[in-house]
Amino acid sequence: MTDVSSSVSADGRVPDSPFLQTLFHSDQGGHEQVVLCQDRASGLKAVIAIHSTALGPALGGTRFHAYASDEEAVMDALNLARGMSYKNAMAGLGLGGGKAVIIGDPETMKTEELLLAYGRFVASLGGRYVTACDVGTYVQDMDVIARVNKWTTGRSPENGGCGDSSVLTSYGVFQGMRAAARHRWGTPSLAGRTVGVAGVGKVGHYLVDHLISDGADVVVTDVREESIARVLAAHPKVRVAASTDDLIRLPLDVYAPCALGGALSDETVPALTAKIVCGAANNQLAHPGVEKDLADRGILYAPDYVVNAGGVIQVADELHGFSMDRARAKASLIYDTTLEIFAKADADGIPPAVAADRIAEQRMSEAKQA
Ligand SMILES: NC(=O)c1ccc[n+]([C@@H]2O[C@H](COP(=O)([O-])OP(=O)(O)OC[C@H]3O[C@@H](n4cnc5c(N)ncnc54)[C@H](O)[C@@H]3O)[C@@H](O)[C@H]2O)c1
């Protein structure tokens, strides 16, 4: 047995860990429930974080990742769950926000036994948490997890699932971009506009399809040659920039970050030529305050979690028996939501990212009071 007496201070108090500080004491907290899950037989160690069920069951994916420490895993689950509350609130899904992480290297640890053990923990929450794919988990994993609970989305079409969620993610980003164009230039059309897409993976390459259909002039960049080759095979006239650094300095009307988080930083914002930023990547603002730098430079930023909600809209539809038509109709509302955010930002004299947060918080607090 481990002796814990050394962590008790002279006055008999056990100091809070960073995650307990976050959970119970900071503005970033406010989570309803955090579940630590362990199944020694399969090696499962997981964290399910439910940030809010004010608007409905907490939906968010399961990340399978080799974290540097268990504490880092808990913090990631807390942050991601909170983000899902805001995304789901803005998407008008009648769902709250949650997220789970499975701790370990999916390459070596992922087994059917482990996924089933995890699925039983999801079941134990009786529908308070609904899971889906995230980094390190795939449609076929959701099919396994769904065998032991009713609260798993992101399954394969053969199992009643919606398949590849990047289809509606890209469609939603396109709708957000049309709204931004309307707000900025008075027309939603992107015809004749130059749009730079950084990252043409699952979402980015579908986004290029939408942009080309609308008549935009598209420039792309990606670190993977296969990704670029796929775009060029479909659209030979698309131009290619050597790097994201090069792309953002070209004369662009719109910049669409569709690769990793942190695309908008103290280094990149001063270099942007685009008048609109609207892309699929999660957590584009490298730190709080960047949204103000963008506004100060006159750049219209369409908040990431608002415009990339098409994917969660697509998987959430599985809860009603999946219909692509219904899900697409819901994703098209991202256009109206984005316009509403810009209008509030203008009216209140705040950046759109702050306006989006305020609307999401208001929706959650009104639902709690009802
Ligand atoms: N897939 C979805 O449904 C979905 C939903 C919401 C948000 N997102 C977010 O959208 C982004 C893209 O997701 P995805 O599913 O298309 O991922 P993906 O892995 O299929 O595509 C990402 C692409 O970005 C490229 N890339 C990586 N680093 C780069 C760099 N430094 N410069 C240029 N290109 C780079 C990769 O080579 C890849 O082609 C991610 O941030 C993801 O979290 C995706």
Atom of ligand 1 nearest to the CA of 257: 11
User: Per the annotation, does 204 bind a ligand?
Assistant: yes
Residue written as token pair 């203008």? 346
**E strand or H helix at 89:** helix 70-91
286 and 140, same structural domain?
no
Q: How far is CA 300 from its chain centroid?
A: 20
Token duo for residue 14: 């056990």
Q: Is 17 contained in some domain?
A: no
Token duo for residue 145: 């997890």
Give yes or no for residue 284 CB within 6 A of ligand 1.
Answer: no
68 and 119, same structural domain?
yes
Residue written as token pair 């988080």? 261
Q: What's the CA-to-centroid distance between 35 and ligand 1, angstroms?
A: 29
200 and 336, same structural domain?
yes
Say which DSSP state 217 is in. E
Give yes or no for residue 96 CB within 6 A of ligand 1.
Answer: no
Token duo for residue 4: 């814990």
Q: Which of 127, 156, 185 is the last residue of a domain?
A: 156
> What does the pLDDT read at residue 19?
79
Q: What pLDDT digit, counting tens, does each position of 11-35 carry?
A: 777 777 877 887 887 777 789 999 9
180 and 146, same structural domain?
no
194 and 152, same structural domain?
no
Quote the CA–CA distance of 362 and 21 in Å, as a whole number: 25
Secondary structure (DSSP) of 135-175: TT--HHHHHHHGGG-S-B-S--GGGT----THHHHHHHHHH
For 117, the 3-state DSSP assignment is: helix
CATH number at residue 309: 3.40.50.720
305 and 181, same structural domain?
yes
Q: Is 362 contained in some domain?
A: no
| Residue 303 CA: distances (Å) to CA of 176, 244, 337, 339, 355 | 9, 20, 11, 11, 9
Q: Is 49 contained in some domain?
A: yes
Give yes or no for residue 139 CB within 6 A of ligand 1.
Answer: no
267 and 141, same structural domain?
no
pLDDT-based confidence at residue 91 (cuts at 50, 70, 90): very high
CATH number at residue 150: 3.40.50.10860
Q: What is the mean pLDDT of residues 266-285?
A: 97
Residue-level length of the chain: 370
Q: Which of 166, 200, 205 to mutate to test the pocket of ligand 1 (most atoms within 8 A of CB)?
A: 166
User: Per the annotation, does 192 bind a ligand?
Assistant: no
Nearest CA to 129 among 57, 201, 189, 75? 57
Quote the CA–CA distance of 359 and 334 in Å, as a whole number: 14
185 and 101, same structural domain?
no
Q: Is 263 contained in some domain?
A: yes
Q: What's the CA-to-centroid distance between 134 and ligand 1, angstroms?
A: 12
Q: What pLDDT digit, counting tens, does each position of 61-90 carry?
A: 999 999 999 999 999 999 999 999 999 999
Give the total number of structural domains in the chain.
Answer: 2
pLDDT-based confidence at residue 7 (cuts at 50, 70, 90): low
67-72-77 Cα angle (round to 5): 95
Q: What is the mean pLDDT of residues 164-171?
A: 95
Give yes or no for residue 170 CB within 6 A of ligand 1.
Answer: no
User: Per the annotation, does 8 bind a ligand?
Assistant: no
pLDDT-based confidence at residue 2 (cuts at 50, 70, 90): very low
187 and 54, same structural domain?
no
Q: Which domain holds residue 342?
A: 166-354
221 and 265, same structural domain?
yes
Contact call for residues 198 and 231 (beta carbons, < 8 A): no
Say which DSSP state 214 is in. T
Residue 5 has pLDDT above 70, yes or no: no
Give yes or no for residue 308 CB within 6 A of ligand 1.
Answer: yes
Q: Is 283 contained in some domain?
A: yes
Q: Is 5 contained in some domain?
A: no
Q: How far apart are the first and last CA of the chain?
A: 48
Q: What's the CA-to-centroid distance between 202 and ligand 1, angstroms?
A: 7
Q: What's the CA-to-centroid distance between 173 and ligand 1, angstroms?
A: 13
114 and 224, same structural domain?
no
Q: How far is CA 267 from its chain centroid?
A: 23
Give yes or no for residue 172 CB within 6 A of ligand 1.
Answer: no
How, if at all, do strands 33-39 and 44-52 pair? antiparallel
Contact call for residues 316 and 95 (beta carbons, < 8 A): yes
151 and 117, same structural domain?
yes
Atom of ligand 1 nearest to the CA of 135: 43
Quote the CA–CA distance of 247 and 367 in Å, as a whole number: 43
Residue 102 has pLDDT above 70, yes or no: yes
Atom of ligand 1 nearest to the CA of 164: 3
Amino acid at 54: A
User: Per the annotation, does 200 bind a ligand?
Assistant: yes
Q: What's the CA-to-centroid distance between 300 and ligand 1, angstroms?
A: 22
pLDDT averaged over every residue in the chain = 94
Nearest CA to 124 among 44, 64, 180, 195? 44
322-328-334 Cα angle (round to 5): 130
Specify whether 344 is catalytic.
Answer: no
Residue 191 has pLDDT above 90, yes or no: yes
Q: Is 342 contained in some domain?
A: yes
What phi and psi values does residue 294 have, to the nearest 5 degrees? -65, -45
Nearest CA to 162 among 325, 301, 47? 325
Token duo for residue 333: 């509302």
Residue nearest to atom 42 of ligand 1 (CA): 281
Residue 4 has pLDDT above 50, yes or no: no
Q: Is 65 contained in some domain?
A: yes
For 239, the 3-state DSSP assignment is: strand
Q: How far is CA 214 from its chain centroid?
A: 25
**E strand or H helix at 198:** strand 194-198
Quote the CA–CA distance of 201 and 140 in Å, as a whole number: 20
Q: What's the CA-to-centroid distance between 197 and ligand 1, angstroms?
A: 11
**E strand or H helix at 39:** strand 33-39
Give yes or no for residue 154 CB within 6 A of ligand 1.
Answer: no
